[in-house]
Structure 1
Amino acid sequence: MAVGGGAESKRMKIERQWSSSWSRLPEDIIFSIMNRLGYVGQLRFRAVCKSWRQANIRGIKSADTLPWKMAVDPRSCCFMTLLTIKKYTVDSKVLASKYGWVLFAKRENDEEEYPYMTNAPLFLYTPFTNRIIHLPNFILKLDDKATFSMPPDSPDCEIFVVRLDRDKKLLIRMCRPGETTWIKLAIFKFFDTEDSSEKYGPAHNVEYVDGVLYISFEQIAVVAYNPKLDDSKLYPYPCNEGKNIVYEYLLESDGNLLLYHDELDDLVFRLDRPQMKWIRIHNLDDRSLFLGTNSSLFIPMEQTSELVNTRHAVVCHCSMCTKISESFHLDVRHMEDYCWIQVPQMI
């Protein structure tokens, strides 16, 4: 008995030493390992032990270089990457996607029969951790647009819903995760004359950049609203060779607001806020532009990548999308909502 106990004790001692040595990995080794993992793999790596979880990993990047693509219809939802495809059952409408999160509105009524989704339950979801954040119900109109200011798991995150009503008044409402009601931020009319107001259709796109909410319309201009100052400005669209162009996309990149037209793909503009004018951008600076109906983003690319300095619509036939579709015999053209989901980065 003594011999057996001694052998068992020795084996356990060796196992503890090995376990201890793994938990004492130098931070540069931990950094090197995590830098080679995708975002989900990084989360699992940090969950192994306390020392790995507490390691200083600021500035680390995920090995995931391409955004996830999501396609949704009233009965199913697909998340697509180059490596995997996940299918879920969902009965919700995509409102926005940023920072690895998607803002959904649960469908309560038949959209073709009802002009409103009465008291639609809104919620935020991230497929990387499967976390859900529920928001107060909202009487959502089909043309309403939405966005949020920062990652929803931050206490300072603000969710905005924008509407242009029948009287051509712009209505903006806001809430934060954990709150039970929506706050009415603004109701204002920004047109000079009734004639000019007829040129505006519903809000097309909305983006939040550096404390300012930007709303694009299918004609003429972008409206900028500062919630803290309760102040609004109007930025007319730039002209191309003397012609007015309908610009369809707003997106944030490195703290700048960019304006893009998907048919004239050489026209990208950056808003110079102090000068109140648009500055033409002539190249993508080794980035790839991914355009979606409610999410658009720039992704840095290696110069050797086939996607460097390229543009991709959310419903596209680029090599990435084609590879996914062919590998999984998937046809998402029948889906109603599409968006890109940006892969988060460790903080």
Structure 2
Amino acid sequence: MDVSWTALPPEIIETISQKLPIYTDYIRFRSVCRTWFSSLPKTPLHLPPQLPWLIFSQQSFFDISTHKTHLINLPLSSHRTRICGSSHGFLIILNETPQIRLFNPLTGASLFLPPLHTFPNVVSFDYSNIGREYFVRNPNGDLGFFNLKQMCNYFIRKIVLSSSPQNDHFVAFAIVDGYNNLAFCKKGYDSWIFMSDEIFQFWEDVVYHQGLFYAVSKGGMIVVCDVDIPRVSVIETNVPVEFSGDIFYVVFSGEEMLLVTRSLGQEFSDGGIESNDMFVYKTVGFEVFKMDWNVMAWEKIETLGDRALFVGGNSSLCFSAVDFVGCCADCIYFTDDYSESNHDDAYGKHDFGVFRLLDQIIDPLLPSYPRNSYSWLGWPLPIWVSPNPC
């Protein structure tokens, strides 16, 4: 006896839907018929992290699973804007106001972290005068000042989140003032708290893993930050002779801690509308190291296996390429995050691509996109963001 698919019990429909790890597959499944649509929630709660989109302008993003560009409408302020992080589907947005905004480009959800003037080293703040000055205590104890433009570009290097901001227990963690301070805030806090003001290192990147934040310095030092106490534990590491690079990223692959080093070179610009006939920085290669916790040493690895890494201004991500259509194994997908201080001229906005670790070759990610395009002007640097329906 034939039974119509539309007559399946709701609990069976829900059980099947939970076997779908890709958000777009879930949407298609829910859209099969009215019965399935009404039996399933609009927001699935079972999904693992999704393959990220590349947001490269206020109006569009690139989906590597389909190799298609889609339209999007980011409600960015008319003020000069910088995206200083992307984590759990949310962009962390700064502009020339004190606000630090979290925005989900998939759902439109928005909320705010404590503003810039609530960091402990901002000793005074005047938003009423023309200069919009912040007076900030430097690591050596001297008092300096930043205007709003400088605060937007320099004061915060990067912000990562422990989980989606919709979670009542999420934590935001910031690398502050370039090199000297690590700060955090929890949901509901009205100000930021420093982990420590006595460890002076140039912190390159930070990642959240199993209840702790791990920050890595230019020399490969690790600090483990427990925000519940709060407490900082310093781990001195040994590095191999080939350990070098201009930018470092840290990411966990399961229980394995990886460190990605990025090397930059210079090339003469092509004289386009954004280049001003100057030398510009360009990525020339990557190396990957893993932490051997037995001897506290970084060891170089030659291959990522079936893994793919996504690095840049986002919280660094690691995926198994076999789980996603269009994702290439043993590759590093990268965007520029080194020219924040220069992004008036947008030099770095074209420095993104796919680095193949095995043969050390960089492939273009958007080969057909015009290099000198007016659509770049005025927008933040391209950034990866994992679509999150929650």
TM-score, normalised to structure 2, is 0.61
Checking the alignment, whether the CA contact within 8 Å between 2:224 and 2:234 is kept in structure 1 is yes
2:62 equivalent to 1:80? yes
Q: 1:150 to 1:122 in 2, by over 3 A?
A: same
Which deviates the most, 297-306 or 206-215? 297-306
Checking the alignment, whether the CA contact within 8 Å between 2:60 and 2:71 is kept in structure 1 is yes
Shift of 1:69: 0.8
Shift of 1:240: 2.8
Checking the alignment, whether the CA contact within 8 Å between 2:92 and 2:101 is kept in structure 1 is yes
Residue 124 of structure 1: aligned partner: 102
Moved over 6 A (4+): none
Mapped to 1, the partners of 2:30 and 2:111 lie a distance apart of 21
Shift of 1:334: 7.6
Unaligned segments of structure 1, at least 5 residues: 1-17, 109-119, 192-199
Measured against aligned partners, the alpha-carbon deviations of 1:157-184 in whole angstroms (never above 9, x if no partner) come to 101223258xx7x43332223x141242
Which deviates the most, 331-340 or 153-162? 331-340
Checking the alignment, whether the CA contact within 8 Å between 1:220 and 1:246 is kept in structure 2 is no
Mapped to 1, the partners of 2:41 and 2:163 lie a distance apart of 24
Checking the alignment, whether the CA contact within 8 Å between 2:84 and 2:313 is kept in structure 1 is no
Partner amino acid, structure 1, of 2:27:
G
Residue 175 of structure 1: aligned partner: 185
Shift of 1:213: 2.4
2:166 equivalent to 1:153? yes
Measured against aligned partners, the alpha-carbon deviations of 1:281-325 in whole angstroms (never above 9, x if no partner) come to 332121222221343222322399572222222132457732673
Mapped to 1, the partners of 2:294 and 2:232 lie a distance apart of 15
Residue 211 of structure 1: aligned partner: 211
Measured against aligned partners, the alpha-carbon deviations of 1:22-66 in whole angstroms (never above 9, x if no partner) come to 6647337843895675178269659965532399x886668x6x4
Q: 1:267 to 1:244 in 2, by over 3 A?
A: closer
Measured against aligned partners, the alpha-carbon deviations of 1:317-336 in whole angstroms (never above 9, x if no partner) come to 4577326737xx89648854
Q: 1:301 to 1:244 in 2, by over 3 A?
A: closer
Residue 76 of structure 2: aligned partner: 90
Partner amino acid, structure 2, of 1:153:
Q
Checking the alignment, whether the CA contact within 8 Å between 2:99 and 2:116 is kept in structure 1 is yes
Residue 31 of structure 1: aligned partner: 17
Measured against aligned partners, the alpha-carbon deviations of 1:174-209 in whole angstroms (never above 9, x if no partner) come to 2223x1412424333236xxxxxxxx54x3322222
Partner amino acid, structure 2, of 1:51:
S
Residue 233 of structure 2: aligned partner: 232
Mapped to 1, the partners of 2:320 and 2:62 lie a distance apart of 20
Residue 223 of structure 1: aligned partner: 223
Residue 187 of structure 1: aligned partner: 196
Partner amino acid, structure 2, of 1:259:
L
Shift of 1:132: 1.0
Shift of 1:237: 6.1
- The alignment partner of 1:38 has SS state of helix
Mapped to 2, the partners of 1:306 and 1:244 lie a distance apart of 27
Which of 91, 106, 111 aligns to 1:133? It is 111
2:52 equivalent to 1:70? no
Mapped to 2, the partners of 1:49 and 1:189 lie a distance apart of 55
Mapped to 2, the partners of 1:136 and 1:247 lie a distance apart of 28
2:352 equivalent to 1:316? yes
Mapped to 2, the partners of 1:33 and 1:325 lie a distance apart of 36
% identical equivalent positions: 16
Q: 1:306 to 1:129 in 2, by over 3 A?
A: closer
Residue 51 of structure 1: aligned partner: 39
Q: 1:184 to 1:60 in 2, by over 3 A?
A: closer
Pairing 1:233-312 to 2, within 5 Å after superposition: 233-236=234-237, 238-241=239-242, 245=245, 248-263=248-263, 265=285, 267-273=287-293, 275-302=295-322, 307-312=328-333
TM-score, normalised to structure 1, is 0.68
Checking the alignment, whether the CA contact within 8 Å between 1:146 and 1:162 is kept in structure 2 is yes
Checking the alignment, whether the CA contact within 8 Å between 2:237 and 2:296 is kept in structure 1 is no
Shift of 1:260: 0.6
Q: 1:29 to 1:205 in 2, by over 3 A?
A: closer
Mapped to 2, the partners of 1:40 and 1:70 lie a distance apart of 22
Mapped to 2, the partners of 1:295 and 1:324 lie a distance apart of 27
Unaligned segments of structure 2, at least 5 residues: 120-150, 264-283, 336-350, 355-362
Partner amino acid, structure 1, of 2:76:
V
Residue 343 of structure 1: aligned partner: 387
